[in-house]
């Protein structure tokens, strides 16, 4: 967990926020939301690039986000998920923020993730 209010992270002007007296990192800050292609905008162009990686720090689940759009009060993502299986699929911000890993840790965004084409990301991340 991050310590120190106002902490900044590489490649972003985003700062930490507090929730219940604890610092946390937003899964989808405004600047990332603006960069993310909207759902269905890339058509059948697979494999697309991955601008964001979300993971469980106490488990082996990882979400490589490729697209996303607001739907009602939620935000729906599309991307490649590595969990029980390796597959493309949809997942929501509300699901990710509500979920906890086996040790009770919140899901978090990898602040040091380097975006890139699918093949490059998979070779680098799945060694």
Structure tokens at 125: 């991340």
Output the pTM of the full model. Answer: 0.76
**Helix, strand, coil % over all residues of the chain, rounded to 5:** 15, 35, 50
Tell me: pLDDT of 48 over 80: no
The band of 123, judged by pLDDT with boundaries at 50, 70 and 90, is confident
The band of 111, judged by pLDDT with boundaries at 50, 70 and 90, is confident
Please tell me what DSSP assigns to residue 32.
Answer: H
Structure tokens at 28: 């989808």
Q: Whats the size of the chain, residue-wise? A: 127
Pick the closest to residue 49 from 87, 86, 6, 78 (CA basis): 78
111 Rama class: left (phi>0) / alpha (psi -120 to 50) / beta: alpha
pLDDT given at position 21: 53
> How confident is the model over 76-97, as pLDDT tens digits?
999 999 999 999 999 999 999 9
């Amino acid at each position: 967990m991050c310590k120190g209010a106002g902490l900044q992270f590489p490649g972003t002007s985003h700062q930490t926020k507090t929730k219940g007296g604890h610092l946390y990192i937003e899964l989808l800050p405004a600047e990332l939301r603006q960069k993310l292609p909207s759902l269905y905008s890339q058509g059948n162009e697979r494999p697309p690039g991955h601008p964001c990686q979300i993971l469980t720090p106490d488990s082996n689940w990882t979400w490589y986000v490729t697209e996303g759009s607001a739907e009602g009060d939620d935000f729906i993502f599309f991307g490649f998920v590595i969990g029980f299986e390796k597959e493309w699929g949809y997942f929501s911000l509300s699901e990710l923020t509500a979920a906890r890993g086996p040790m009770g840790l919140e899901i978090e965004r990898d602040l040091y993730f380097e975006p890139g084409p699918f093949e490059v990301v998979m070779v680098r991340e799945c060694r």
